[in-house]
Amino acid sequence: MNTNFHGLLVIDKPAGITSRTAVDRAQGWFPKGTRLGHTGTLDPLATGVLVLCVGVATRLAEYVQLMPKVYRAGIILGATSDTDDADGALTPSADAKSPSRALLEEHLASFLGKIAQIPPAYSAAKVSGRRAYALARKGKEVDLQPRTVMIERIDIINYTYPHLELVVRCGKGTYIRSLARDLGIRLGCGGYIASLRRTEVGWFTEGQSVELHATPAAARTALLPAWRAVQDGPPNIITEEEATQLLQGKRIRASWPDPRDLAVMAVLDAEGRTFAIVELIDGWMQPIKVLAGANAK
């Protein structure tokens, strides 16, 4: 297996393809055998930030998946969609009335914080071990249970009925399609996603992204260090002796004066490679994941 490329790559997923297809295309930038995976599905209609894990960084995908996301969402009010977006069958809402901006702001405020949200019927959520979209496409009834998600902020960017544009900052597992659907229900006029762009995942932004038509050389140059999956600031370097102890599963003393108030952090070996992910407990570093042996800058 190739071990020359390890790290994180931010790509700009275009509309009209799945996240899996985007990963398959990105695979062509790297030698055969290089492991690649993404850290959070975007619908085919959606564009924007998709963080790929390359090589040993695939072991750190869970940390990126937990990061907050920011979306710019275009919503059409006055109609519904069976997929909750413009790719589905649209049904105009009878006698739909234009909500005032004040009413809109009132209802949007009710979605802030921890809320119970039902995923769209056409989604990757599982029902009895099967993907909901697979059942929905066969015309079968999809009974999805509410999930607790976190929505930190919703800002209205533009509103001229029936067009509404929002910026939403939310946590893992939040469906913006569900937000559009539920907002339309509360307003009594229906609503669905017409456009959706993810602009941020944690500290990864669209300004760092590479487009899928980039050359392999450009994509490889844009590869970020694997430790960026865990922290934004520079990690600490450990000695060869400390590396051996972590490799043996032993904890080591956190001797530097600036722990950066992190509960979990990355440490590098003397050659600058991402060596391990550790948990800081009372001045000690307890290894969580040891990535020794990978040339993962």
Q: Which residues are catalytic?
A: 43
Q: Please check whether residue 93 is in contact with residue 190, taking contact to mean a CB–CB distance below 8 angstroms.
A: yes
Please tell me the distance from the alpha carbon of residue 100 to that of residue 228, in angstroms, as a whole number. 43
Phi and psi based region of residue 182 (left: phi greater than 0; alpha: psi -120 to 50; beta: remaining): alpha
Give Cβ neighbours of residue 116 (< 8 Å, ≥ 6 apart). 146, 147, 148
Amino acid making up residue 275: F
- Give ∠ CA 150-170-265 in degrees, rounded to 5: 90
Nearest residue to 109 via CA among 190, 179, 188: 179
Please tell me the distance from the alpha carbon of residue 31 to that of residue 272, in angstroms, as a whole number. 23
Please tell me the distance from the alpha carbon of residue 49 to that of residue 69, in angstroms, as a whole number. 9
Cα→Cα distances 261→65, 114, 164, 184, Å: 21, 25, 39, 41
